[in-house]
Amino acid sequence: MNGYLRTAVLMAAMTALFLGVGALLGGAGGAMIALVVALAMNAFTWWNSDRLVLRMHDARPASGPEGRALTQMVHEMADAAGMPRPAVYILDNDQPNAFATGRNPANAAVAATTGLLRSLSREEIAAVMAHELAHIRNHDTTIMTITATFAGAISMLANFALFFGGNRNNGLGLIGTLALMILAPLAAALVQMAISRSREYEADRVGAEICGNPLWLASALQKISGLAARIDNESAERNPATAHMFIVNPLHAHAHDRLFSTHPNPENRIRALREMAGQGARRGPWA
Q: What sign has the CA pseudo-torsion 282, 285, 286, 287? A: positive
CA-to-CA distance for 94 and 98, rounded, in angstroms? 12
Say which of 66, 123, 132, 267 is annotated catalytic: 132
Burial zone of 62 (CB within 10 Å; 0-12 exposed, 13-18 middle, 19+ buried): buried
Contact (CB, 8 A) for 95 and 119: no
Residue 217: phi and psi, rounded to 5, are -70, -40
Pairing, β 60-61 against β 87-91: antiparallel
Question: What CA–CA distance (Å, rounded) separates 43 from 106?
Answer: 17
Distance CA 48, CA 278 (A): 41
The phi and psi torsions of 59 (rounded to 5 degrees) equal: -75, 145
Helix H segments across the chain? 3-21, 27-47, 49-56, 64-80, 114-119, 122-137, 140-164, 173-211, 214-228, 234-238, 266-278
In the residue annotation, 132 being an active-site residue is answered as: yes
Amino acid code (one letter) for 45:
T
Q: Looking at the annotation, which residues are catalytic?
A: 132
